[in-house]
């Protein structure tokens, strides 16, 4: 290679490496904001299993690789979710590939949740869906001024999965219901305030922090404390009382009625947002968060979420939601049923129903 020429881009979807006792998982699909494919989930799980058995590996870092051409637009997120288009393509046929994706993705989520070695996840930029699933299990979760955290699945006919029923249900008050239903976005300061992030570090300081962690992996607590700073005031704090009051209703219909009856501009905005969401997905998501508070084992959470995902991935609302927002991009989904009243409780019961024993989700050995 001639002097001054650029290195060829790495075409691996996830770059796996180990250096000085630190295992690194670097998501590498910049044009898709590093959305997870099935192969990425399998590769990350395999690397984690290898490092678990390797005494030389003391720490694991999860982040994304830099754009090969330096375009900042291609480095705008940690992970935008899962490969929804591939799941949609499968859902339009037999759904087998979609279910295999969810099965292995949830195994990865559980593997990280139960991992014995410390993991640092860098939630820099867009962190949605599948990105939440690989960052929230980490012991150390780093937010920045560029963090944009959300679980927006009700807008495409799905639900906040990858452990969303566990993480959201454990947020203060009714914040979990609010985020699950509306897909509300949080910045880095709000993530820290709610406990979704453990540290707040300026994006410009991340490279130096990562280098320090690789050089001194046994000093992670001290290095993170040194690099962190006090985040700005959390905007969501000004709405916490309204969230607890308006999103605490027993049913989805009760929540909608409370929002409609409230005269505040914020409440009316949330009601307008919910009018765009799948009524079926909202009822599923509300039940998921409410039931998630009762789970004491993360594996139980993932088992339930897999049942829901396996049922929903071929249903009309998911197929229509992805068509409208991702494929055709007309942003005009036609939900079926079109109203919350048209979604009876027994329909939600069916979505949460157990699968055949041979088809149920299980953790990796």
Could you give the CA distance from residue 13 to residue 29 in angstroms, rounded to a whole number? Answer: 6
Query: In angstroms, rounded to a whole number, what is the distance separating the alpha carbons of residues 55 and 20?
Result: 12
Question: What are the beta bridge partners of residue 142?
Answer: 122, 199
- The answer to whether position 3 is within a domain reads no
In a domain, 310, yes or no: yes
Residue 109 token pair: 């989520």
pLDDT of residue 76: 82
Q: Active site includes 130?
A: yes
Classify residue 338: in a domain, yes or no.
Answer: yes
Does residue 320 have an active-site annotation? no
Residue (of 213, 159, 207, 168) closest to 191 by Cα position: 168
Query: Are the C-beta atoms of 243 and 173 separated by less than 8 Å?
Result: yes
Which pLDDT belongs to residue 2? Answer: 37
* Residue 43 annotated among the catalytic residues of the structure: no
In angstroms, the Cα distances linking 36 to 47, 104, 123, 212, 257 are 15, 11, 15, 27, 37
C-alpha 335: how far from its chain's center?
23
**Of residues 161, 177, 187, 320, which has the active-site annotation?**
161
Catalytic residue among 105, 153, 187, 305: 153
- Catalytic member of 77, 81, 91, 130: 130
In a domain, 148, yes or no: yes
SS3 at position 150: strand
DSSP string, 10-61: P--SEEEEEETTEEEEEE--GGGTTPBPHHHHHHHHHHHHHHHT-TT--EEE
User: Which one from 82, 91, 163, 188 is the annotated catalytic residue?
Assistant: 82
Number of domains in the chain: 1
187: buried, middle or exposed (CB in 10 Å: 19+, 13-18, 0-12)? buried
CA distances from 182 to 4, 12, 106, 134, 192 (A): 49, 34, 23, 22, 20
* Residue 21 near residue 57, CB atoms below 8 Å: yes
pTM, whole model, 2 decimals? 0.95
- Residue 135: which residues within 8 A CB-CB, separation 6 or more? 62, 78, 79, 121, 123, 127, 141
If one counts every other C-beta atom within 10 angstroms of the C-beta of residue 270, the result is 24
- The secondary structure element, H or E, covering residue 61 is strand 59-64
315 within domain boundaries: yes
Question: What does the pLDDT look like over 149-174, one tens digit per residue?
Answer: 999 999 999 999 999 999 999 999 99
> Using CA atoms, how far apart are residues 156 and 105, in angstroms rounded to an integer?
19
Q: What pLDDT sits at residue 6?
A: 47
Which pair of structure tokens corresponds to residue 254?
Answer: 């009760």
In a domain, 364, yes or no: no
**Residue (of 49, 44, 111) closest to 82 by Cα position:** 44
Token pair for residue 327?
A: 């494929």
Is there a catalytic annotation at residue 105? no
Only one residue has tokens 């300081």, namely 205
Establish if 1 belongs to a structural domain. no
Q: Tell me, what's the pLDDT at 8?
A: 54
For residue 296, give both structure tokens: 């004491």
Q: Is residue 128 part of a domain?
A: yes
Q: Which pLDDT score is estimated for 73?
A: 64
From CA 230, how far away is CA 3, in angstroms rounded? 43
Residues of the chain below pLDDT 70: 1-9, 68-75
Token digits for 165?
């029923």
CATH of the domain at 340: 3.90.226.10
Q: How far apart are the first and last CA of the chain?
A: 45
pLDDT at 269: 98
Structural domain boundaries enclosing 252: 14-359
CA 53 to chain centre: 27
Tokens of 228: 């962190």
pLDDT of residue 5: 41
């Amino acid at each position: 290679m001639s002097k001054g020429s650029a290195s060829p881009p790495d075409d691996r979807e996830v770059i796996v490496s180990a250096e000085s006792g630190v295992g690194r998982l670097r998501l590498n699909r910049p044009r898709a904001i590093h959305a997870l494919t099935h192969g990425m989930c399998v590769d990350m799980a395999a690397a984690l299993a290898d490092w678990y058995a390797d005494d030389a590996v003391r720490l694991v870092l999860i982040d994304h690789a830099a754009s090969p051409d330096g375009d900042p637009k291609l480095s705008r997120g940690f992970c935008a979710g899962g490969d929804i288009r591939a799941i949609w393509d499968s859902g339009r046929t037999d759904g087998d590939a979609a279910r295999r994706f969810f099965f292995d993705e949830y195994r990865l989520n559980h593997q990280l949740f139960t991992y014995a070695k410390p993991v640092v996840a860098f939630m820099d930029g867009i962190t949605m869906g599948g990105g939440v699933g690989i960052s929230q299990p980490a012991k150390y979760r780093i937010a920045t001024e560029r963090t944009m955290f959300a679980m927006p699945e009700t807008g495409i006919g799905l639900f906040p999965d990858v452990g969303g029923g566990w993480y959201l249900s454990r947020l203060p008050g009714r914040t979990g219901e609010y985020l699950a239903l509306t897909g509300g976005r949080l910045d880095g300061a709000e993530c820290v305030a709610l406990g979704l992030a453990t540290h707040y570090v300026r994006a410009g300081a991340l490279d130096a922090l990562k280098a320090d962690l690789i050089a001194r992996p046994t000093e992670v607590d001290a290095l993170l404390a040194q690099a962190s700073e006090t985040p700005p005031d959390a905007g969501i704090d000004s709405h916490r009382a309204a969230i607890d009051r308006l999103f605490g209703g027993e049913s989805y219909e009760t929540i909608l009625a409370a929002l409609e009856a409230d005269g505040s501009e914020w409440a009316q905005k949330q009601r307008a947002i919910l009018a765009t969401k799948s009524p079926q997905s909202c009822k599923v998501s509300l039940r998921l968060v409410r039931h998630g508070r009762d789970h004491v084992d993360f594996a139980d959470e993932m088992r339930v979420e897999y049942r829901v995902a396996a049922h929903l991935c071929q249903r009309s609302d998911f197929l229509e939601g992805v068509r409208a927002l991702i494929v055709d991009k007309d942003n005009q989904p036609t939900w079926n049923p079109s109203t919350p009243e048209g979604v009876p409780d027994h329909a939600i019961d069916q979505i949460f129903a157990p699968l055949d024993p041979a088809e149920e989700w299980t953790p990796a050995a």
